[in-house]
């Protein structure tokens, strides 16, 4: 059977009025194809992808068949389809809502090498099409939402990388190599983040600065600082924003100066960490 993209698979059957499907290409991971959808009656014809299909069911229940048999995926469960695996899909008992991503073989193979520290593992394979993993589910949904919002590329990339790293260990059952402490490399990345906080830095740039794999960097950085690289970067931006707000600059000006996508992006991050909006913080220092 020829492989198709997920967009082609959805388009093969028109959606009903009460159904929706939105595709978006996430900038990290080579423009990763992603889908968020709610289906009440839409049924997929049997098809296969060149990529993996990895996602999470948010509500309702999806049923599908593949060479591994008939499966059912309900709320809070993760779904894994391997490349070239023929499968269908249909609502069960009223429909379902889900979020999906379609990472390439190259993407997951590279992550498997970085996580395991071994290059002879072959292509990752997920033996179970449906798994219950609360931590993995939450991490995937958070990553998918961040990629869909698109206002913080490093956040989406870091979250999805963390999820895929977890997935290949827990659910493709590959060995994990626990990195040691890396004082020098972490210090270099901290300096880079502190000095270039207003720039749109990527996970790949940070890993190159450290001379470590992405997996090694994230875990070593968190061990040394108590935060992931993205969390450290946002904290640095908030500190810089506070200083500029105290000078009287508007939140919009501050957002532009500190690397946030726009004023609303700054406001969400600022309020989550300081309990007040940037505007309220600025007014407290008004003369």
Q: Tell me the C-alpha distance between 287 and 283, whole Å.
A: 9
Report the CATH number that the domain containing residue 138 is assigned in CATH.
2.60.120.10
Last residue of a domain, one of 177, 196, 228: 177
Task: Let me know: does 139 contact 186? Beta carbons within 8 Å.
Answer: no
Co-location of 84 and 7 in the same domain: yes
CA distances (Å), 148 to each of 19, 31, 36, 179, in order? 19, 12, 9, 31
pTM of this prediction? Answer: 0.91
Q: What angle do CA 57, 61, 67 make, to 5 degrees?
A: 90
Q: Residue 142: CB partners within 8 Å, gap ≥ 6? A: 159
Residue 287: the pLDDT is 62
Are 155 and 238 found together in one domain? Answer: no
How many separate domains does the chain show?
2
d(CA 42, CA 16): 7
Mean pLDDT taken over the chain? 93
Name the residue among 243, 240, 235, 181 with its Cα closest to residue 212: 181
Single residue among 149, 177, 205 that ends a domain in this structure: 177
188 and 146 co-located in one domain: no
| Domain co-membership, 45 together with 141 | yes
Q: Looking at the structure, do residues 58 and 88 belong to the same domain, yes or no?
A: yes
CA distance 283 to 165: 44
The residue out of 177, 208, 228 marking a domain boundary is 177
What mean pLDDT is predicted for residues 82-107? 96
Indicate if 18 and 70 belong to the same structural domain: yes
Mark whether 26 and 155 lie in a shared domain.
yes
What is the distance between the alpha carbons of residues 132 and 74, in angstroms, rounded to a whole number?
A: 9
Are 138 and 268 found together in one domain? no
pLDDT of residue 142: 97
Q: How confident is the model at residue 143, as a pLDDT?
A: 97
- Name, of 26-35, 55-64, 146-155, 180-189, the range with top average pLDDT: 55-64
pLDDT in tens, 111-154: 999 999 888 888 999 999 999 999 999 999 999 999 999 889 99
Please state, in angstroms and as integers, the Cα–Cα distance from residue 216 to each residue in 14, 53, 113, 161, following that order: 45, 25, 11, 12
Residues 147, 189 share a domain: no
Q: 169 and 212: one domain?
A: no
pLDDT at 5: 82
Same domain, 61 and 203: no
Q: Residue 103 gets which letter from DSSP?
A: -
Task: Assess whether 59 and 164 both reside in one domain.
Answer: yes
User: What domain range is 110 assigned to?
Assistant: 1-177
Yes or no: say if 105 and 52 are a contact pair by the CB < 8 Å rule.
yes
The CATH number for 281's domain is: 1.10.10.60
């Amino acid at each position: 059977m020829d492989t198709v993209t997920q967009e082609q698979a959805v388009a093969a059957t028109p959606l009903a009025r009460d159904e929706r499907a939105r595709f978006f290409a996430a900038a990290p991971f080579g423009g990763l194809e992603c889908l968020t959808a709610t289906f009440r009656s839409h049924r997929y014809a049997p098809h296969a992808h060149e990529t993996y299909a990895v996602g999470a069911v948010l509500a309702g229940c999806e049923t599908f068949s593949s060479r591994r048999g008939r499966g059912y995926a309900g709320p809070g469960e993760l779904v894994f389809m391997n490349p070239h695996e023929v499968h269908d899909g249909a609502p069960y008992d009223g429909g379902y809502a889900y979020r999906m991503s379609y990472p390439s073989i190259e993407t997951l193979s590279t992550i498997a090498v970085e996580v395991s520290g071994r290059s002879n593992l072959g292509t990752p394979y997920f033996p179970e099409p449906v798994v219950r993993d609360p931590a993995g589910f939450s991490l995937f949904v958070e990553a998918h939402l961040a990629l869909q919002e698109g206002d913080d590329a490093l956040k989406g990339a870091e979250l999805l990388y963390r999820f895929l790293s977890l997935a290949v260990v827990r659910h493709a059952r590959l060995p994990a190599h626990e990195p040691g402490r890396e004082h020098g490399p972490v210090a270099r990345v901290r300096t880079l983040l502190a000095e270039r906080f207003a720039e749109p830095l990527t996970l790949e740039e940070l890993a190159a600065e450290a001379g470590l794999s992405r997996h090694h960097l994230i875990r070593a950085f968190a061990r040394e600082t108590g935060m992931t690289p993205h969390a450290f970067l946002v904290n640095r931006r908030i500190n810089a924003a506070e200083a500029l707000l105290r000078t009287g600059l508007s939140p919009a000006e501050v957002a532009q100066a500190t690397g946030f996508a726009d004023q609303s992006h700054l406001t969400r991050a600022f309020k989550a960490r300081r309990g007040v909006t940037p505007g309220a913080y600025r007014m407290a220092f008004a003369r």
